[in-house]
Structure 1
Amino acid sequence: MKLLLSCMVSLTCTFSGIWALSNFFSIQKSEIWLRFLSVTIISVLQGLMCIFGIPILNTISMLAMIVLSTIICFRIPKISFLIYDFLIALICFIADAMSTLSLSFVTQKTISSAVAEDSLTISSCLRTCLLTFILCHIVFSMIRKKKSSFVWYESISYAILATGEIITANYIIENIANTHSGTFLVFFLTGCIVLDVYIVFVFYRVSAIREMEKKNALLQQQTDMQMAVYRDLEKRYQNSMTIIHDVKRHVNALEGLIQTENLTEAKQYEKSLYQQLDKLHPSFHCSNQLLSVILNHELLKAEQKGIQLNLNILYDKLDFLSDMDLTTIVSNLLDNAIEAVSELDKDRTVLFVIEEQMQCCMIHTENKYEKL
């Protein structure tokens, strides 16, 4: 029985670790069932090490099991995975210690005498499995905070659930350990594990929905910026069509002034005509057409607010950025800068630079501000 329980704890430790590491590394899809079978065999062999009853051997074999399982199941870029593996091993040791100590505390017996009883040993091993799974979930969810929208109150609620399960299990053990077999405890703690797995699944479904909402919000922001640029293009197009439509009339009027030898008025009319035609030319132009459109849009916006926008575009090979990303980056930087400078009474100047340094594209925005 002890060998079976030891193998169960070993399997729980291994697959809880694999589940936790799947948040950081990519699982190798090729021959995945063969990989999981190999990991299962390694875990069972490690569980059988308890035959020898040598603590240091159990410790070394557990670390070797976790490291081998990680190498077998994941595509690992560097040896940084060892940090996670040692953390998993530490979690397993903590879970085992907490289970054993709580068993001794509840039964008011020494650790050795509590562990020696088969009925208590079964519940202790099952609680070790439960704690290992829960602690892996909580600890690695906190570590992957930047990669997921899993929030702190979900971890607290999960910890409260785990505490309630442990207290309930201890109460049941204390009241039926001397009158019943461990069968009920097996079913009870198995139900707790199933419940925990379900709650983890629900939490991560909520997390996935939250991530999708964030992405949708960013896409909406990008769409709004693109629409602002398109509206500016439409406005410029309508203005150009108006000017082009009036060009023939302007040329006829200019010819009439020349024929009547009214040269002074003709020169003034010619000057005003050139001013109208200059509006058709963009204020800024570079080889990247989208960047030209965005910067002309920002130049017009800055001009309307009486802000001097100084552009120094020394590098415009931005094909590595999608149109959406380029619009979002440049528009965000310049919109924020223009908004900050518009609150100033002086120094209403924004500097925007794109250049190449050490084979990297450097984008620099500089402006003074009153409120951060």
Structure 2
Amino acid sequence: MNEYGILNILMVFFPALIVSVYLKAFHNDKKSRTTVCASAWGLYIIFQCWVMASHASHPLLVLIVNILLIFLIYEVSYQVDFKTALFRAGFFYVLWMLVEIATNYMLGKLGNTTVPSSFLVGSIISKLIMYIAVHIFKRLHKKDFSTGISQKYWIRLCFVPVVTIYIIHNTFFLTARNQRNIFFLLTAVFMILVNYIVFDVYDKLGSQLDTEKKNLVYEQQIALCNKQAAERENAYQETRRVRHDLNGYLVDLKASIQSGRFEDAEAKIDNILSHNSLYGDEVSRSGNLVIDSLINYKYSLAQKEGIEMKCYVFVPETLDFDGADLCIILGNLLDNALEAVKNLPAEKGRIELSMSQVKGSLSIVVKNPYEGKILEDRNGQLLTNKPDKKNHGIGLDSVRRAVGRYNGELLAEYGNGMFRATVLLYPRENLHDYS
């Protein structure tokens, strides 16, 4: 092992880390057996050893073999279709080759390619560039990864590898003249580790923030379920009390009729009916417990706010969709509609809900008027107007997640003071893995 042995070892394993980050940009979980996947990665590591030992003296061969190895890793790790795996592996390594060519060209312009071991510093710099590139790609591609780290902090984060490249480049060529190779060795190792730690911490923080958002959504759904259960329990207890006292009511009612006080008897009957109207205000009677409970609960909230709510629900008692997902989708859409219209004038305060199932696919449409400006990010995703963005603005994000589990669609259309949210869900047996 030469004086740069440690760096050579790092340059063998660093590409594996870069490839792993790239593949994770497309998928969350592996689908393969561990032994098969480990064998594929082993072949890749062995080939990288040969590349470092030969100084990539056969670039075309290196490119072709790398593409084939990444294709193999992709296939056995995620079991995607042949064309997708080959295209993504080819695109990735062609881009990497261009980065290496550009790096060596710039080093040549600086007159540094004649220095011994310049291949090593070029390899380090090109891999650092690819490392930041795959992290940028992962952030842009994985829109479902709703990290709360703002864009300005992420840009500052990218400044770390840029500074690292500058430090490694200058340290190498300064120490090369003085033959102080150990100083460059330590600097390069520490700077590579710093980059790994920084981006690993970033991913962990993003994952933690994502989990916190999910937990907040679940807390909201649990609170909703608890509230529904409490109201149902109160209504049920009231019904039990009325039934328990029914004998006394009938005796009193009979006395009023026998004495000729018919108006008094009619009033007593109305009173009994009003206290026993557990299902009197229901607008959804599809027979599906989840949908009926949620819609009727939201309808009661609308009534209390003086909001007109029309519901057209045509769904069977059983659906091929998870009840929790339906609660998240329907609950958040109706919450957003109620929030939008509650401060509007009485004549504008109206919500329209339509639900229907056709050939197994479920359609949900919620329409409501609105005032003010609707904000969007650069990806076209709607943003909240509320200052507390941590605890608000996650409703539609939760809907997108639930819709995505069925390869469904969420369409938001607005204009002329009217907002329309449309959700289409497809039954799981009709879905295919297009990832």
| Shared fold (TM-score, shorter chain, > 0.5) | yes
Match of 2:262 in 1: 264
Deviation, structure 1 residue 29:
3.2
Match of 2:233 in 1: 234
Greater shift after overlay, 8-17 or 164-173? 8-17
Alignment identity in percent? 17
Distance 2:125 2:64 in 1: 23
Match of 2:250 in 1: 251
Given that residues 307 and 346 in structure 2 are in contact (C-alpha distance below 8 angstroms), is that contact kept between their aligned partners in structure 1? Answer: no
Matches within 5 A, 1:102-251: 102-106=106-110, 109=111, 114-149=112-147, 151-180=150-179, 182-251=181-250
Deviation, structure 1 residue 56:
4.2
Q: Deviations over 1:224-275 (max 9, x none)?
A: 2212212321332343244334433321122112322x06336524642553
Matches within 5 A, 1:60-139: 60-77=64-81, 79-106=83-110, 109=111, 114-139=112-137
Given that residues 352 and 366 in structure 1 are in contact (C-alpha distance below 8 angstroms), is that contact kept between their aligned partners in structure 2? Answer: yes
Letter in 2 for 1:170: H
Deviation, structure 1 residue 360:
0.3
Distance 1:54 1:322 in 2: 54
Given that residues 355 and 364 in structure 2 are in contact (C-alpha distance below 8 angstroms), is that contact kept between their aligned partners in structure 1? Answer: yes
**Bigger proportion of residues as helix:** 1
Greater shift after overlay, 187-196 or 82-91? 82-91
Judged with a 3 Å threshold, the aligned counterparts in structure 2 of structure 1 residues 321 and 232 are, in CA distance, closer, same or farther, namely: farther
Q: Deviations over 1:309-359 (max 9, x none)?
A: 333221134554444433333333334334444423325443322211232
Match of 2:43 in 1: 38
Given that residues 352 and 364 in structure 1 are in contact (C-alpha distance below 8 angstroms), is that contact kept between their aligned partners in structure 2? Answer: yes
Distance 1:195 1:179 in 2: 26
Distance 1:353 1:7 in 2: 61
Question: Which of 1 and 2 has greater Rg?
Answer: 1
Distance 2:177 2:313 in 1: 82
Judged with a 3 Å threshold, the aligned counterparts in structure 2 of structure 1 residues 359 and 38 are, in CA distance, closer, same or farther, namely: same
Matches within 5 A, 1:285-364: 285-342=285-342, 343-346=344-347, 348-364=349-365
Deviation, structure 1 residue 198:
1.7
Given that residues 70 and 89 in structure 2 are in contact (C-alpha distance below 8 angstroms), is that contact kept between their aligned partners in structure 1? Answer: yes
Structure 1: state its 5+ residue gaps. none
Deviation, structure 1 residue 57:
4.3
Judged with a 3 Å threshold, the aligned counterparts in structure 2 of structure 1 residues 94 and 348 are, in CA distance, closer, same or farther, namely: same
Given that residues 302 and 338 in structure 1 are in contact (C-alpha distance below 8 angstroms), is that contact kept between their aligned partners in structure 2? Answer: yes
Letter in 2 for 1:103: L
Given that residues 253 and 268 in structure 2 are in contact (C-alpha distance below 8 angstroms), is that contact kept between their aligned partners in structure 1? Answer: yes
Deviation, structure 1 residue 44:
4.5
Distance 2:100 2:52 in 1: 14
SS at match of 1:355: strand
Greater shift after overlay, 304-313 or 53-62? 53-62
Match of 1:13 in 2: 15
Given that residues 12 and 45 in structure 2 are in contact (C-alpha distance below 8 angstroms), is that contact kept between their aligned partners in structure 1? Answer: no
Distance 2:246 2:348 in 1: 39
Given that residues 344 and 369 in structure 1 are in contact (C-alpha distance below 8 angstroms), is that contact kept between their aligned partners in structure 2? Answer: no
Letter in 1 for 2:24: S
Letter in 2 for 1:331: G
Deviation, structure 1 residue 87:
4.0
2:27 is the counterpart of 1:22: no
Judged with a 3 Å threshold, the aligned counterparts in structure 2 of structure 1 residues 78 and 242 are, in CA distance, closer, same or farther, namely: farther
Greater shift after overlay, 301-310 or 39-48? 39-48
Judged with a 3 Å threshold, the aligned counterparts in structure 2 of structure 1 residues 135 and 298 are, in CA distance, closer, same or farther, namely: closer
Deviation, structure 1 residue 102:
4.1
- TM-score normalised by the chain length of structure 1: 0.81
Distance 2:339 2:156 in 1: 42
Structure 2: state its 5+ residue gaps. 375-435
Judged with a 3 Å threshold, the aligned counterparts in structure 2 of structure 1 residues 162 and 102 are, in CA distance, closer, same or farther, namely: farther
Letter in 2 for 1:196: N
Distance 2:264 2:120 in 1: 105
**C-alpha RMSD of matched pairs (Å):** 3.4
Deviation, structure 1 residue 180:
0.6
Letter in 1 for 2:251: N
Q: Deviations over 1:186-214 (max 9, x none)?
A: 33212221222222221111112111111
